[in-house]
Amino acid sequence: MDILVNVVLPLGLAFIMFSLGIGLTVDDFKRVAKRPVAFFTGAVCQIVLVPVVAFVLIQLFGLTAELAVGVMILSFCPGGVTSNIICKLAKGDVALSVSLTAVVSLFSIVTVPILVAWAVTHFMGSEAVSVSITGLAISVFLITTLPVLIGILVRHFASHFAAASERMISMIATILFVVIVVAALAANWALFVENLLVLGPALIALNVVLIFAGSVIAKLLGRTLHELKTIAIETGVQNSTVGIAIGTLIAAEATGFSAFSLPSAVYGITMYFVTLPVILGFRNMNSGGSQS
């Protein structure tokens, strides 16, 4: 288990984030300036709305302190490769999805450490573990931001290699994601079984509420149907692998995957029960709407 936590987890997450970066181009970032309303709607939903909804649901479902911290950690995480794939399958605006994932992922080096430190203090009280904001920021940079930047550089300077290897890299990243989720569940199996009837519905509710809220906000702001789909998905789908890693990082005394990682691991499974029907529903929608 120590090998999984100390080697497979950080390297696996770094590779997953690299797989995200290698699919990005400079134009993905330039697109933000060309479509500010759609982008900032999605970004605000991800950065502000998701944690607020998570906090409310924690109160409603009465989650214990460690699990509450774990759910909040998950809510602080940006979208990932998964949200881009779901967006593509749902016939959404993939370019917008990629732009949101890229920019918010890079921005998370600032937001995640500060918010995680707050969550630990708020929910754990006197039993709170010590969280170094600087140390966590460095860790987040090394295993998430830096691999994305390296992937972008590889795509820019070795475009032929990136195009030829992208599918294989994505396949390896998917396998690593499954290994990390299964390992985190196995390490906390007793806690998982004990809290399944509360944690499972809470995470499903988180998915459902956020996707619905993202859709409504996009609709109220007059976004096109393709943009609406993307904003809904980017709001409702978080990067559970990052959540597992951060949950483990802040529990330095743990010998394996910590309980803080459990909600993200469970979410890595339950999100498919929600997103699969959403994909089918979105695919059947007709095109239409307004543009900025």
- Summarised one tens digit per residue, pLDDT across range 249-258 is 887 555 556 7
The pLDDT value recorded for residue 169 is: 87
* E-assigned strand segments in the chain: none
User: Count of residues for the chain?
Assistant: 292
pLDDT band of residue 292 (cuts 50, 70, 90) is very low
DSSP assigned state of 239: -
The pLDDT value recorded for residue 227 is: 92
Whether residue 70 contacts residue 113, with contact meaning beta carbons closer than 8 Å, is answered with no
d(CA 95, CA 284): 20
The pLDDT value recorded for residue 110 is: 87
Q: What are residue 196's phi and psi, to 5 degrees?
A: -60, -40
Q: How far is CA 38 from the centre of its chain?
A: 19
The pLDDT value recorded for residue 120 is: 92
For the chain, give the mean pLDDT: 85
User: Does residue 163 have a pLDDT over 80?
Assistant: yes
The domain limits of the chain are 2-281
d(CA 203, CA 182): 17
Whether residue 72 contacts residue 89, with contact meaning beta carbons closer than 8 Å, is answered with no
d(CA 171, CA 175): 6
DSSP string, 125-180: GGGPPP--HHHHHHHHIIIIIHHHHHHHHHHHH-HHHHHHHHHHHHHHHHHHHHHH
- Summarised one tens digit per residue, pLDDT across range 9-50 is 788 888 888 887 887 777 766 766 777 899 999 999 999 999
| Winning range, highest mean pLDDT, from 53-62, 125-134, 140-149, 177-186 | 53-62
Rg of the Cα trace of the chain? 18
2-281: CATH topology is Na+/H+ antiporter like fold (1.20.1530)
- Summarised one tens digit per residue, pLDDT across range 68-127 is 999 999 999 888 778 888 888 898 888 888 888 888 888 888 899 999 999 999 998 878
Percent of the chain exceeding pLDDT 90 equals 32
The pLDDT value recorded for residue 2 is: 60
Whether residue 45 contacts residue 230, with contact meaning beta carbons closer than 8 Å, is answered with no
Residue from 210, 215, 209 nearest 229 by CA? 215
d(CA 119, CA 69): 6
